[in-house]
Amino acid sequence: MNYINFYNNLIKLTTNKLLYKSLNKQDSFNDRLIVFLLHFAFFLKNFKNAENEKILQDIYDFNFRQLELSIREIGYGDQSINKKMKDYINVFHAIISDIHFWNDNDFVKKKEIISKFLENFTNIDELVEYFDEYLENLSKKTLNSYLKSVINQ
């Protein structure tokens, strides 16, 4: 199964200019990648269950292959790509770990989590509200419908 629609949906969410209005500098590839990884982590958190295990692993593999291709397009060499990918995968797993109990956390704890990964953003409150809403929207759809649909920003 091809997950390009899903990947493109994450890219579309990630490139939403409103997410970057509180960034205290010009956004970079790294900033956008962290926002992408946050979206992806919340997606996995929402749909993680035994029934979806295989498809979520396939999506995970597909997304990280796409990220590797993006890093190659930027012009990094093979050795740099391996290091960058390892770093990004480690960040992603840290995000997964930190958002595991997202719904049980109060607003202050959620702000700490988002601030940890998006340290150059000044208005973390808006980002917490955004990801709360994003997670709520994910919970209203089935995995299959989300994979096949195209989102509108």
Beta carbons of 99 and 45 less than 8 angstroms apart: yes
59-96 residues labelled b (16+ CB within 10 A) or e (exposed):
beebbeebbbeebeeeebeeeeeeebbeebeebbeebb
Of 61, 8, 7, 52, whose CA–CA distance to 143 is shortest? Answer: 52
Residue 4 burial class via C-beta count within 10 angstroms: exposed 0-12, middle 13-18, buried 19 and up? exposed
Distance, in Å, from the CA atom of 19 to the CA atom of 97, rounded to the nearest integer, reads 22
- pLDDT tens string 55-101: 999 999 999 999 999 888 888 777 788 888 899 999 999 999 999 99
1: pLDDT strictly greater than 70: no
Of 46, 60, 37, whose CA–CA distance to 117 is shortest? Answer: 37
Distance, in Å, from the CA atom of 99 to the CA atom of 41, rounded to the nearest integer, reads 8
Lowest mean pLDDT among 5-9, 35-39, 143-147: 143-147
How far from chain centre, in Å, is Cα 144? 18
Beta carbons of 3 and 147 less than 8 angstroms apart: yes
45: pLDDT strictly greater than 60: yes
